């Protein structure tokens, strides 16, 4: 089992120097870095096995197909789906959510129905429903978020008219975790189906779709050590089978005439065109890598860093933290420094080799609800170290000194 | 460019003590622009007399670069003819700021110019409405 304190060596990019400083990468909620094992798996596929899948009879096509389908099995096991047919490879969580809005939403929603979201959704889990609501004259309702970044859940918001409850598992701005199981149970009692946006949770905690009883669950590979351009849509087989395809074209058909086509079985019905074979293989390598680390040791490591950041940042005069206190924060610390815009802070920290995110974090309604136009966000992952928090604190000190009114 | 140079005294002075922040009582032209990348916003108001910008004010929320830029643009257009104001370029604004801007921050530096151009257009529309 890999030692959590010595895994930096597995991440080549961490050797890079930024402005002649050690790279301190604290933008993991945007995308994670990739271990050499993932890079090697992708290179190995292209160097030794590359072919188009499912159609070719030759050796490479068989190898590539087997590797792609093995990757699907790896993902199935990772989230404990009942069958591999319930794992659809997509580009990312955004594409999965758009697929659901287009395919499930257009087929299943009618005028007067309601969709329940939370006030802390990433734009990816808001805009597809906004558009659908306008097209189908469906009402959007929002579970309010309180000042601690928790949900103010009044169960009466979910009614008999509610057809869908779609929510983030972990907020990409605040790091707060939502009561997924409770929301899913409430939705099911009302006869609604559920979508879990697990983009920020899957990298940090074990997620079991069967114990959650999630109808759909989506995530991106690149936030959990995998390549960009590969993501996962999980759906219960019965729901996926009822749904029309999203994209149509190659790979997803049984029979085609000039005027008609019949769709392939799951999961291929939703995977039109040549898929991201290398991406799926890279994602499987990332899952294998995560599996080689004790997940509880990893969680403890990240939580310790978050706790350290929380303690040290809140001790700085002029720093305001947002979101939940203590261990309810999953990998993310959002904050502002009085008198310094988050962009200016990010620029000054970059000088020190420190990468943070600044702005509205693709959750503009939430940022505005908090009374802000922008916030700084430091987000941690397995390869971060206590020294990274110290660098962040020192960098903030430098920014405060630079911005001091003279 | 190290951040000490980026946040040179001129930029920080304009950020902390802007000279053109505020509102005009009866502006002849005005517009608001937002930076789609970050949600920051800027609103600019102009008084125009005999085709000359005689007063300029701005309000907004943003970073030091964008707000210093708004203040400098307001200063530089005051007293200029509409033709001169129309001709102000991205290069002019960057010259006034006097700093080298990385691509990621260019939108911050140039939000003021976008706002000025929209303001000038709103002034033209207003004139047309009168005639």
Query: How large is the ipTM?
Result: 0.89
Backbone angles phi, psi at A30, to 5 degrees: -80, -55
Catalytic residue, chosen from A170, A362, A378, A382, is A362
pLDDT in single tens digits along all 406 residues of chain A? 567 767 999 999 999 999 999 999 999 999 999 999 999 999 999 999 999 998 888 999 999 999 999 999 999 999 999 999 999 999 999 999 999 999 999 999 999 999 999 999 999 999 999 999 999 999 999 999 998 889 999 999 999 999 999 999 999 999 999 999 999 999 999 999 999 999 999 999 999 999 999 999 999 999 999 999 999 999 999 999 999 999 999 888 889 999 999 999 999 999 999 999 999 999 999 999 999 998 888 999 999 999 999 999 999 999 999 999 766 789 999 999 999 999 999 999 999 999 999 998 899 999 999 989 899 999 999 999 999 999 999 999 999 999 998 7
Per the structure block, which two tokens stand in for A59? Answer: 């050796």
- By C-alpha distance, the chain A residue nearest B62 is A341
Percent of chain B with pLDDT over 70: 94
Chain B interface, best mutation among A27, A343, A349, by max B CB count within 10 A: A343
Q: Do A344 and B37 touch (CB under 8 A)?
A: no
Q: Strands A216-220, A193-197: parallel, antiparallel or unpaired by DSSP?
A: parallel
Contacts of A344 in chain B (CB under 8 A): 7, 63-65
From A247's Cα to the closest Cα of chain B, the distance in A is 29
| Residue B124 pLDDT grade (very low, low, confident, very high; cuts 50, 70, 90) | confident
- B82 vs B123, which has greater pLDDT? B82
Q: Are the C-beta atoms of A24 and A386 separated by less than 8 Å?
A: no
Are A229 and A106 in contact by the 8 Å Cβ rule? The answer is no
Q: Which residues of B touch A343 (CB under 8 A)?
A: 38, 40, 62-63, 65, 105, 108
Please tell me if residue A54 touches chain B, with a CB cutoff of 8 Å.
no
All residues of chain B having their beta carbon less than 8 Å from the beta carbon of residue A394 are none
In angstroms, the separation between the Cα of residue A365 and the nearest Cα of chain B is 10
Query: Which residues in chain A have their CB less than 8 angstroms from residue B59's CB?
Result: none
Q: Quick one: closest CA in A to B61, which residue?
A: A373
Q: What is the pTM of this model?
A: 0.94
CB contact under 8 A, A405 and B16: yes
List, in sequence order, every residue forming a beta bridge with A117; answer none if it has no partner: A142
Residue A362: active-site member: yes
- The structure tokens listed for A325 are 């206190």
Which of B2, B41, B63 is nearest residue A341 as measured by Cβ atoms? B63
What is the token pair recorded at A278? 């290398």
B64 close contact with A: CB closer than 8 A: yes
Token digits of residue A34: 């990739």
B103 CB within 8 Å of a chain A CB: no
CB contact under 8 A, A373 and B41: yes
Query: Helix B103-130 crosses helix A342-351 at what angle (to 10 degrees)?
Result: 150
β-pair partners for A114: A139, A162
The tens digit of pLDDT for each residue in B74-115 reads 999 999 999 999 999 999 999 999 988 889 899 999 999 999
Contact B62/A at CB under 8 A = yes
Whether the CB of B63 is below 8 Å from some CB of chain A: the reply is yes
Nearest CA in chain A to B38: A359
Beta bridge partners of A102: none
Question: By the CB < 8 Å criterion, does A344 face chain B?
Answer: yes
* Dihedral sign, Cα of residue A211, residue A217, residue A221, residue A223: negative
Task: Tell me if chain B has a CB within 8 Å of the CB of A348.
Answer: yes
Please report residues of A whose CB lies closer than 8 A to that of B61: 373
Mutate to test the interface with A, among B16, B43, B63, B110 (most CBs of A within 10 A): B63
Q: Which residues contact A164 (CB under 8 A, 6 or more apart)?
A: A105, A109, A115, A116, A129, A187, A192, A193, A194, A195
Chain B residue whose CA is closest to A350: B3
Test A344 with B16 for CB contact under 8 angstroms.
Answer: no
User: How far apart (Å, rounded) are the C-alpha atoms in residues B75 and B71?
Assistant: 6
Q: Which helix (H) or strand (E) holds A122?
A: none
pLDDT score recorded for residue B127: 56
At B8-48, the pLDDT tens digits run: 889 999 999 999 999 999 999 999 999 887 888 999 999 99
Distance CA B27, CA B46 (A): 5
Mark yes or no for CB contact B4/A402 under 8 Å.
yes
The pLDDT-based confidence of B130 (bands split at 50, 70, 90) is very low
Q: Kindly determine whether residue A373 and residue B40, on different chains, have CB atoms separated by under 8 Å.
A: yes
């Amino acid at each position: 089992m890999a030692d959590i304190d010595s895994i930096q060596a597995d991440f080549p990019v961490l050797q890079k120097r930024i402005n002649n400083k050690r790279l301190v990468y604290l933008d993991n909620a945007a995308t994670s870095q990739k271990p050499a094992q993932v890079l090697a798996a992708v290179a190995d596929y292209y160097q030794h096995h590359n072919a188009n899948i499912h159609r070719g009879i030759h050796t490479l096509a068989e190898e590539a197909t087997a590797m792609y389908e093995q990757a699907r099995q790896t993902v199935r096991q990772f989230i404990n789906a009942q069958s591999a047919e319930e794992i659809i490879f997509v580009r990312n969580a955004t594409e999965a959510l758009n697929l659901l809005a287009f395919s499930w939403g257009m087929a299943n929603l009618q005028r007067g129905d309601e969709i329940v979201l939370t006030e802390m959704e990433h734009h990816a889990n808001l805009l597809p429903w906004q558009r659908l609501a306008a097209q189908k004259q469906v009402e959007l309702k929002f579970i309010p978020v309180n000042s601690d970044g928790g949900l103010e859940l009044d169960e009466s918001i979910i009614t008999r008219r509610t057809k869908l409850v779609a929510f983030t598992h972990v907020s990409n701005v605040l790091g707060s975790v939502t009561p997924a199981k409770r929301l899913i149970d409430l939705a099911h009692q009302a006869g609604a189906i559920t979508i879990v946006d697990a983009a920020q949770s899957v990298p940090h905690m074990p997620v079991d779709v069967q114990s959650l009883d999630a109808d759909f669950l989506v995530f991106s590979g690149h936030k959990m050590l995998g390549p960009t351009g590969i993501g996962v849509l999980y759906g219960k087989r019965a729901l996926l089978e009822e749904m029309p395809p999203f994209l149509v074209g190659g790979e997803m058909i049984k029979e085609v005439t000039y005027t008609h086509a019949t769709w392939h079985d799951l999961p291929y019905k939703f995977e039109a065109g040549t898929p991201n074979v290398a991406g799926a293989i890279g994602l499987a390598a990332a899952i294998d890598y995560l599996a080689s680390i004790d997940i509880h040791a990893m969680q403890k490591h990240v939580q310790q860093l978050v706790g350290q950041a929380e303690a040290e940042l809140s001790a700085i005069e002029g720093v305001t933290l947002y979101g939940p206190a203590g261990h309810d924060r999953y990998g993310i610390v959002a904050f502002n420094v009085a008198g310094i815009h988050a962009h200016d802070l990010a620029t000054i920290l970059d000088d020190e080799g420190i990468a943070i995110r600044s702005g509205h974090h693709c959750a503009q309604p939430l940022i505005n609800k908090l009374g802000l136009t922008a916030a700084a966000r430091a987000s941690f992952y397995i390869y971060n170290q206590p020294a990274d928090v110290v660098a962040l604190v020192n960098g903030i000190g430098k920014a405060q000194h630079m911005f001091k009114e003279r | 460019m190290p951040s000490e140079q980026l946040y040179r005294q001129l930029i920080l002075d304009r950020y902390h003590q802007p000279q053109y922040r505020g509102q005009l009582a009866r502006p002849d032209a005005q517009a608001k622009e937002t930076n789609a990348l970050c949600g920051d916003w800027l609103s600019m108001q102009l008084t125009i007399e005999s085709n000359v910008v005689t007063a300029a004010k701005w309000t907004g929320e943003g970073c030091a670069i964008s707000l210093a830029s708004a203040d400098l643009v307001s200063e530089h257009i005051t007293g200029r003819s509409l033709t001169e104001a129309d001709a102000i370029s991205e290069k002019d604004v960057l010259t006034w700021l006097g700093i080298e801007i990385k691509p990621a921050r260019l939108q911050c530096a140039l939000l003021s110019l976008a706002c000025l151009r929209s303001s000038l257009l709103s002034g033209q529309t207003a004139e047309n409405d009168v005639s």
